[in-house]
Amino acid sequence: MTSPLQQKLKINGSSVVTANRTWDGVVVYRTAAKGWSADLADAAIVRNSDEAKALLAEAVADDVGAIGPYIAPVQVDEAGKILPGNLREQIRRDGVTIDLPV
Amino acid sequence: MYAYDEIDRTLVNERVSEFRDQVQRRLSGELTEDEFKMLRLQNGVYLQLHAYMFRVAIPYGTLASNQLRRLAHVARKYDRGYGHFTTRQNIQFNWIKLSDLPDALADLAEVGIHAMQTSGNNMRNVTSDQWAGVAPGEIEDPRIWSELIRQHTTLHPEFSFLPRKFKIAITASDHDRAAIKVHDIGLRLIKNEKNETGFEVLVGGGLGRTPFIGKTIKHFVHGRDLLSYIEAILRVYNQYGRRDNIYKARIKILVHELGIEKFSREVEEEWQHIRNSSLQIDDEVIEDIRSRFIYPAYEKLPHMPDELRQAAADPDFEAWRKNSVAAHKNPGYSIVTISLKPIGAPPGDATAEQMDALADLADTYSFGEIRVGHEQNLALPHVAKRDLPALWKALDKLGLATPNVNLITDIIACPGLDYCSLANARSIPIAQELTRRFANHELANLIGRLHINISGCINACGHHHVGHIGILGVEKNGEEVYQITIGGRADESAALGNLIGPGVKFDEVADVVEDIVEAYLALRERPEELFVDTVKRLGVEPFKERVYATR
Amino acid sequence: MPLVNGGKIADDSFVKLAVDTPLPEGGDVLVPAERFLSDTDALLKRGGKVGVIWPNNRDIGELVPHLGEIAVVALVFPSFRDGRAYSQARLLRERYNYRGELRATGQVLRDQFVFMLRAGFDSFEVKKQADAEAFMQTAKRYSVFYQPTGDGRITALHRRMQLRHSEGVGT
C-alpha cells in the first residue's frame, strides 16, 4: 500500500485536508491550529503541493484523531467562503442528495 | 428458521467481547488504523463518506420476528431510524459511531445476530434462495447446507486472510433466485441416481471490474464431501490466488488464468488428501442441524378460501396479489414478497417503524418468519391464503404493498455516491427517477418482467452486469456519466449484458431507459416475450439505433 | 521483538543467519530456505540446532524430506493480511506430521494468535511487546470452534453430538 505521503501530489488551486473522525466517523477538516473541525469554514487552505504535503503529513500523524486523511479540492469565493470543489466533497459536507426515509 | 444453541451463542458473545476489546484498543491509540481496518472489516464495519457503515449478516436470508425487531432497535438507538437491505442478504446501517458499535453488536447477539465476516478478505455471508424451504418443487431445504458452511467458515483459522473476499450461494430449485452463477462458489443442490443429496459445484463467477459467469468444476459432490471439497478449493485459492493486485485477487482471476481444467486438477489433488478426514459429514451431523431448523405446523387449509374469493373484486388487491404473491409448497399457503421499492424511494431501505410493524405482521400471518432476498425485497414465507386480504391492507398502510415485484420499478441499486466512499457516481437518485417515470402500474405491467440494476462504480454492488438493463455510474472529467448495458441476467441462464453505446449524463439516464423500453415494446414478437428475450433474439443493434438515433 | 514460546515470553536461543553470514561454530541457527537446501549437510553436521525460515510462496513439500532433522520451521507473514502461511502450517502439522517448533514470524499481532494456534503454530515472534504480554489471555478468548484442525480442539459439531448422546436424544 502506498502511504498517502508518498503519493504524487498535484494541486490545482485551493485545497484542504479532510478525513473522518475516528470515534464517530464524522467528516472533519484539518485546521491551521493543528486540530480538526467538522466545519469546512475552519479548514486550513493550501495552495501548492509543498503546503499540501506539510498539512497532510501533520494530519496523517494524528492517527488516533481521524482516519484516512486526503487532500480535497475546494473553491474560495470572493467573500472568502470555502466551498466543496466537487460533488463527492459536496455530499460529504452536506449529506446525501436524496431525502432520507425518516 | 435456525435456532442457535448455547454453543453458537457462546461463540457470538466471545466475538462481541473480542471486538469490544479491539475498538477500545483503537480508540486508545494502541492499534493504528492500518492494523484496525482489517479487524473492523472482519466484523462488517466500513468507513463511508459521512460515517461508519455497519453491515449485519442475515444468513441465507432468514429472520425471526424478534430478530427483525432488534434490527429496528439498532436502527433507532444507534443510527438514524432506518436500515438498507443489500443484494447479499445483509442489512446496513449508515450512520453508526465506532464507539457505539460494541453495544450495538451486544444487543444483536442477544437474538443470535452477528456481523462476523460481512466484510474483509474472508468467507462472506453464505446466501441462499429466499424461498428456501417453501418453494414448490424444491429438492430439499438448501439452508441446512448453508448453515453447515456458515459454521465451518466462521472464524476459520486457515481462511480468514484470503487474497480477497469469498462468496458462496446455494440453490435447490430449478429457477435460481440466489444468483449462484455470479458467486465465487455456486452450489446447486441435486440428487444422484441413488437419490443421494449432493451438489453441482460452480467456481469463479463474479461481477466487479472483470465479470465472469461461474464454471462447473464438478458435476456431483456428495453431501458428505461438501466441506472437504470447499476446503480444497479454498486451500488452492489461499496459496495461489494473486495478492499483488487487488483487482486480480478474486478466485475468478485464478480460475481464468489457470483455466478451469488445471484449476480443477489442483483442487482434485488437494481434495483426495482431505476427503476422508474429519471434514467428512455424517448423516447424524446433518440431522442435528436440520433438527434446529424450525418449520411451521401448517394447517390443512383450502386452496381457494372465501376471503380470497371476495377480495378478488377489489382491483387494487388483485393487482397486488397477482404481482407479489407466489405459490407455496403447501397449497393453502402463499409466499408474499414485500416490495421495498416504493415509487420515489431508495431501493431496499426500511424504516425502524416498518421493520417493527413487519415483525408484528410476521407473527400474525407468517409464523414469525421473514425472508430477505438478493433483489433487496423482503418476504413473508408462510401466509395462509385466507389471510392475504387482511395482510394486504396492513401492508398498504405501511407503504409496503407496491405491486411492482420483478417489474421495471423493482430496481436493484447500490448506495452509490450518496453514501459510499468507493462510488464515482450516484445510484439512488437514478433509481428514484426511473421509478417515477414508470410509476403507472398498467405501463409497468405491460412491459412485464424487467430488472434494472444500478451500480455507482465498477465494484458492481448493484449487479449492473446482470441487470436486464444495467446502469454503471462512472466519473468523467468531474461529471457523473452512466454506461448502459442490456441483456444481462442473474438466474439459471446467467449472462452479462452488452454495452448499448456511449455513456450518458445523469439527467439523460431515465430518457435513455424510456427509449430502450419503447424500442422493446415495438420490437417484441408478442406480449409474453420478455425484454431480455427480445434482446437475446435481436442483439443490441436495434436498441442502439433507436436510442442513439436522436442523440 | 519478543518471542512467545510455550505460552510465555521466552528467550530465543536461535540466531538468524542471512544467506551469506558465516556459519558460527556452535549455537542454534535459523537460516533462510535456500541456504538450508543448498547447504543442508554442513548445517546439520554442526553442534547446534538448525531451523529454517520458509517463505510463504514456496512449496512446503520441498522441506518434507528434512522435517525429522530440523528443530524449527519459521513461517512468514510479510503482512498480517497475507494468510498463505496458515495453509503451510496446517500442511506441516496435519499432512506431514511435523512435530518440532513451528514459529510465526513477520507481522504477528495479538488478533491473529487464536488463528495461528489453531493452524498449528506454537511459537510467535510478536511485533509488539504489549501483544506478547497479552498472549495467554488472548489465546483463551474463544471456547467454541467450528472447524476441525490438527490442534485437536473439539468442534462445535462434535460437541453437539456428544451432548445429544449423553442426553439420550433419539434413543
* pLDDT, mean over chain A: 92
Average pLDDT estimate for B492-506: 97
B430/B432 Cα distance (integer angstroms)? 5
Q: Does the pLDDT value for residue C168 go beyond 90?
A: no
Question: Please, which pLDDT band fits residue A8 given cuts at 50, 70 and 90?
Answer: low
**Cα(first)–Cα(last) distance of chain B, in Å?**
53
Are A70 and A10 a contacting pair, CB within 8 Å?
no
Quick one: average pLDDT of B400-405? 98
Query: What's the CA angle centered on B399, arms B397 and B403, to 5 degrees?
Result: 110
Report d(CA B235, CA C84) in Å as an integer.
9
Q: State the DSSP code for C167.
A: H
Beta bridge partners of A28: A19
Query: What percentage of residues in chain B have a pLDDT greater than 90?
Result: 98
CB contact under 8 A, B351 and A25: no
Provide the pLDDT for residue A12.
75
> Do B39 and C141 lie within an 8 Å CB cutoff?
no
**Mean pLDDT, residues A79-85 taken together:** 95
Q: Judge contact between B161 and B154, C-beta under 8 A.
A: no
What average pLDDT does range B544-550 have in this prediction? Answer: 90
CA distance C4 to C122: 8
Longest dimension (CA), chain A: 44
Cα Rg, chain B, nearest whole Å: 23
- B453-483, pLDDT tens digit by residue? 999 999 999 999 999 999 999 999 999 999 9
Cβ count within 10 A of residue B462 = 32
Q: How confident is the model at residue B3 (pLDDT cuts 50, 70, 90)?
A: confident
**Stretch A71-84: mean pLDDT, rounded?**
96
Q: Of C132, C68, C133, which is closest to residue C96 (Cα–Cα)? A: C68
The amino acid occupying position C35 is R
Work out the average pLDDT over B121-148: 97
Name the minimum distance, in Å, from the CA of A96 to any CA of chain B: 5
Q: Do C149 and B157 touch (CB under 8 A)?
A: yes
Out of A24, A63, A91, closest to residue B417 by CB: A91
Mean pLDDT confidence for B302-320: 97
At B1 the pLDDT is 64
Average the pLDDT over B192-218 and give the result.
Answer: 97
Residue C170 has pLDDT above 50, yes or no: no
Query: Do residues C36 and C54 lie in contact, with contact meaning Cβ atoms separated by under 8 Å?
Result: no
Q: Which residues on chain C are in Cβ contact (under 8 Å) with B38?
A: 80-81
pLDDT of residue B154: 97
H/E segment holding residue B26? helix B6-27
Report the SS3 class of residue A66: strand
- In angstroms, the CA C7 to CA B140 distance is 47
Which domains are assigned to chain B? 6-109 (3.90.480.20), 142-291 (3.30.413.10), 306-397 (3.90.480.20), 412-548 (3.30.413.10)
Question: How near does any CA of chain B get to the CA of C158, in Å?
Answer: 8
Query: How many Cα atoms occupy the beta-carbon half-sphere of B164 within 13 Å?
Result: 20
CB contact at 8 A, C127 and C101: no
Whether the pLDDT of residue A6 is over 90: the answer is no
pLDDT of residue C37: 95
Q: Is B37 on the interface with C (CB under 8 A)?
A: no
Strands B82-85 and B90-96: antiparallel
Residue in C94, C101, C49 with CA at minimum distance from that of residue C74: C101
Helix axes B251-258, B226-240, angle to 10 degrees: 80
Q: Quick one: pLDDT at residue A1?
A: 45
- In 3D, which of B291, A99, B515, B47 has the Cα closest to residue C170? B291
SS3 sequence of B213-244? CCEEEEEEEEHHHHHHHHHHHHHHHHHHCCCC
Cα(B162)–Cα(B238) distance, rounded to whole angstroms? 5
Three cell numbers written together for C151: 490442534
**Cβ A68–B33 below 8 Å, yes or no?**
yes
Are B49 and A27 an interchain contact pair (Cβ–Cβ within 8 Å)?
A: yes
Rg of chain A over Cα atoms, rounded to whole angstroms, equals 14
Using CA atoms, how far apart are residues A23 and B76, in angstroms rounded to an integer? 19
What pLDDT does C158 receive? 87
Q: Quote the cell numbers at residue B128.
A: 441462499
pLDDT of residue A3: 57
pLDDT at site B549: 87
Phi, psi of B198 (to 5 degrees): -155, -165
With an 8 Å Cβ cutoff, are C109 and B14 in contact?
Answer: no
Q: What is the DSSP string of C88-131?
A: HHHIIIIIS---SEEEEEES--GGGHHHHHHHT--EEE-SSHHH
- Give the pLDDT of residue A101: 84
pLDDT score at A5: 57
3-state secondary structure of B378: strand
Strands B469-476 and A82-84 come out as unpaired
3-state per-residue secondary structure call for B103-143: HHHHHHHCCCCCCCCCCCCCECCCEECCCCCCCCCCCCCCH
pTM as predicted: 0.96
Is B10 part of the contact surface with chain C (CB cutoff 8 Å)?
Answer: yes
CB-based contact B39 C157, cutoff 8 Å: no
The arithmetic mean of pLDDT across residues B52-75, rounded, is 98
Using one digit for the tens of pLDDT, what is the confidence trace for A32-43? Answer: 999 999 999 999
> Can you tell me whether residue B64 is helix, strand or coil?
strand
CA dihedral B500, B506, B508, B512 (to 10 degrees): 30
pLDDT at B192 > cutoff 50: yes
Q: Can you give the pLDDT at residue C47? A: 87
Sorted by sequence, the CB contacts under 8 Å of residue C70 that are 6+ apart come out as C36, C49, C50, C51, C52, C63, C100
Q: How confident is the model at residue C25 (pLDDT cuts 50, 70, 90)?
A: confident
Question: What separation, in Å, do the N-terminal and C-terminal C-alpha atoms of chain A show?
Answer: 39
- CA–CA dist B418, C8 (Å, integer): 50
- The residue to which cell 504480554 is assigned: C133
For residues B499, B504, B509, B515, the Cα torsion angle rounded to the nearest 10 degrees is -60
B550 — pLDDT class (breaks 50, 70, 90): confident
Task: For residue C109, give the amino acid letter.
Answer: L
Burial of B20 (0-12, 13-18, 19+ CB in 10 A): middle
End-to-end CA distance of chain C: give it in Å, rounded: 56
Beta carbons of B98 and B52 less than 8 angstroms apart? yes
ipTM for the predicted complex: 0.96
For chain C, say whether B8 makes contact (Cβ under 8 Å).
Answer: yes
* Three-state secondary structure call for residue B23: helix
Q: Which three cell numbers stand for residue B420?
A: 459510499
Report chain B's mean pLDDT, rounded to a whole number: 97
Task: Please say if the pLDDT value at position B443 is more than 90.
Answer: yes
Number of neighbouring beta carbons within 10 Å of residue C65: 9
Shortest distance between the Cα of B421 and any Cα of chain A, in A, equals 9
